[in-house]
Structure 1
Amino acid sequence: MSVPLTLLGLLEREPSHGYDLKRDYDLFFSRGKPLPFGQVYATLGRLARDGKIVIGEVAAGEGPERKRYVITDLGATEVDTWLAQPVEPEPNLQTVLFTKVVLALMLGRPADEYLDTQRAAHLRRMQELTALKRGGDLVDTLLADHGLFHLEADLHWIDTATVRLDALREAVRR
């Protein structure tokens, strides 16, 4: 997730205060991992430095001044370019899951037990996401579906790897 580009996109929608940007980011994009305020303001500072946003009106508040940030043409162009580019399908074919299985086999450890443990963890997470879908709004449902589809693909890989463990063990112990 690109925090700077996401904040730029939120600013293209409407000029906003940092607090409002954090609230909207957390509401739509963070799901379980809120964006720290420090990261919001550090990112806004870099975007302003790079000419992608400017500070609009400044209002006095009970605490620090409330600055309203406004996207510039340069920032809007960057958002347009970013939205038009496809996401890299999978730049690294060697995932952590794959790496752990291969290392377990190389080290003579029980890779099948690791895969069983991983399968159980995936199934638990799938249950959580399914519950989220049942009780969530459309945003929750789409995010849960995204996670579920990835977990399903991992489960398919786990099953395939389990069937091929003996052959893989021979291939990596040479």
Structure 2
Amino acid sequence: MSTAHVLLGLLAGGPLHGYELKRSHDQRLPLAKPVAFGQVYATLGRLQRDGLVTTAGQGQDGGPERTSFAITDAGRARLDGWLAEIEPPAPHVTSTLFAKVAVAVLVDGAERARDYLIAQRTAHMDRLRELTSVKTDPASTLGDVIAADFAILHLDADLRWVTNTLERVADLHREVHP
């Protein structure tokens, strides 16, 4: 995920200061890893340096002085370009889940991989139940629901891979131990 582009998108709705950007990010991208305040300010510094945002004023609101930022025309053009780019499907398998299973098979053969896959399936099922409750909670926002859908579909793909791999590991075990 491009933090810079997400911040530009949030600023497209109007000027915000760093604390508001962080809060808005975490609310509008539920279930995503929260962005750190330091990351927000470092990113704003780069966006300002590159002419993609500009300061839009300062306010205090009973606390420390805060600088608001606004997206520039160049920033809007950069955001529009990013939104128009099609994301290529990942060319490489970079999942830690995949790596652990592959290494378990290499190091210890089928048994360790099987035990790991069974435990991982349980963890995935638990997470699916949590996400399903988000979708049925009347207090959930549209953002909550689409984030839950995204995570559920990825977990479902992982679970199908786990099931398939458990079958392959069982076949390997039968070959090695007839």
TM-score exceeds 0.5: yes
Offset, 1:36: 2.0
The offset of 1:78, in angstroms, is 0.9
Q: Which amino acid aligns with 1:114?
A: Y
> 1:69-124 deviations in whole A, cap 9, x for unaligned?
11112111110011011223223224222211111111115110011011001000
CA RMSD in angstroms comes to 2.0
Determine the C-alpha separation between the residues in 2 that align with 1:151 and 1:44: 33
Q: What's 2:119 paired with?
A: 117
How far is 1:35 from its partner? 2.1
Match of 1:102 in 2: 102
Q: Which runs of 5+ in 1 are unaligned?
A: 170-174
1:148 is aligned to 2:152? yes
Task: Report the Cα distance in structure 2 between the residues aligned to 1:137 and 1:60, rounded to whole angstroms.
Answer: 30
Which of residues 125, 128, 143 in structure 1 aligns to 2:130?
Answer: 128
Separation in 2, partners of 1:30, 1:140: 6
Q: How far, CA to CA, are the matches of 2:148 and 2:98 in structure 1?
A: 24
Cα distance between partner residues in 1 of 2:91 and 2:62? 47
Query: 2:52–2:73: 8 Å Cα contact kept in structure 1?
Result: yes
Identify if the C-alpha distance between structure 1 residues 89 and 50 changes in structure 2 by more than 3 Å, giving closer, same or farther. same
Identity %: 44
Q: Which moved more, 1:155-164 or 1:83-92?
A: 83-92
Match of 1:172 in 2: none
> Distance in 2 between the 1:143 and 1:168 partners?
37
Residue 54 of structure 2 corresponds to 54
Q: Letter of the aligned partner of 1:121 in structure 2?
A: A
Alignment-mate amino acid for residue 116 of structure 2: Y
> Is 2:30–2:144's contact at 8 Å kept on the other side of the alignment?
no
Contact 2:134-2:145 at 8 Å conserved across structures: yes
Q: Which runs of 5+ in 2 are unaligned?
A: 174-178
Structure 2 residue aligned with 1:162: 166
TM-score normalised over the length of structure 1 = 0.88
Distance 1:122 1:24, change over 3 A: same
Opposite residue 71 of structure 1, the aligned amino acid is I
Q: 1:94 to 1:57 in 2, by over 3 A?
A: closer
Distance 1:6 1:81 in 2: 13
Cα distance in 2 for partners of 1:45, 1:24 equals: 18
In the TM superposition, residue 167 of structure 1 has moved relative to its aligned partner by 5.8
User: How many equivalent pairs are there?
Assistant: 170
